Amino acid sequence: MYDIIIVGAGPAGLTAALYAARANKKIVVFEANVPGGQIVNAHMVSNYPGVKSMSGSDFATNLYNQVIDYGVEVKFETVLSIDENKNVTTDKGSYSAKAIILAPGVDNRKLRIENEDKLIGKGVSYCATCDGNFYKGKDVAVIGGGNTALEDVLYLSDICSKVYLIHRRDSFKGAELTLEEIKKKNNVEIILNSSVTKINGIEKVESIVINNLDQEQIINIDGLFVAIGHEPKNIMFKNVVDIDDKGYIVSNDGVHTSKKGIYVAGDARDKILRQLTTAVSDGSIAATVAIKEMEN
């Protein structure tokens, strides 16, 4: 029996683990993939207070090592289900605790178009900082209009011969400063009001078909980087806690779920801002509240 089970080893989950460990609680963190969550893919973290500049992977590694140094048990197992009695079933066993903190994070949202799944790893990527170097000196396209897409373009423009930035709207939601930097790049072409409708290629990506105001255009590229947002990884919890129509865990105060003793932290909950700062804040609050209520 654990005091707290934490689902997810992203910034929110690891921060919750850090706070719980400092309170001398017996905890375990479950992670299906690599620790660090989405921040691992960030080329550079420059908006975290007190950290002038650091790669996302370095930040994640430092946080993970800090948690491990406190003796936190991290199990690389996939959580399959939880129940209202705070029992957790993974692909390797069953566990129980006095409290559960759900911090599973999010997955990359897909385009859901022809050949996308077939060509993942063969030209289709969801992480420019992970795979960008494979396309050095080649032509690539980035799909999206938020901060991730803009940062991906800026990163790829220093590696690739040509970068197309394709967005379905006529304006961007990402940071204006980043967009201004992109506009200074001679090898970046911005295509607005356009959607990618098909990916062409048999063994690898060869080209994409885009629709612009009902006119089709084919662009020859070697790599396609999809940065159109994320989807919460909450499907296995829907029978225990309330989830909204977008798949996010409902929390009226940002920490409690609809089930007593089960808490939420990070990008998987309904919230206004999904950033590194809000993730670590969520994690520290969730652990603190869980411990306080556990002891009362």
pLDDT in tens, 209-265: 999 877 999 999 999 999 998 889 898 999 999 999 999 999 999 999 999 999 999
- Please give the backbone phi and psi of residue 282, each rounded to the nearest 5 degrees, phi first: -55, -45
pLDDT at 49 (0 to 100): 93
Is-catalytic flag, 160? no
Domain boundary among 193, 226, 259: 226
Domain boundary among 196, 226, 256: 226
Q: What is the largest CA-CA distance in the chain?
A: 64
- Please give the backbone phi and psi of residue 182, each rounded to the nearest 5 degrees, phi first: -65, -40
Domain boundary among 226, 248, 272: 226
The count of residues in the chain is 296
* Segments in the chain below pLDDT 50: none
pLDDT at 214 (0 to 100): 78
Domain holding 145, by residue range, is 124-226
Q: Which of 127, 152, 160, 222 is catalytic?
A: 127
Query: Which residue in this structure is represented by tokens 């690539």?
Result: 140
Q: Which of 131, 152, 222, 282 is catalytic?
A: 131
* Number of domains, the chain: 2
What is the pTM assigned to this prediction? 0.79
Does residue 240 lie in a domain region? yes
Q: Which of 3, 69, 83, 130 is catalytic?
A: 130
pLDDT in tens, 278-295: 999 999 999 999 999 998
Same-domain pairing of 216 and 237: no
Cα–Cα distance between 224 and 239 in angstroms, integer? 36
pLDDT at 108 (0 to 100): 86
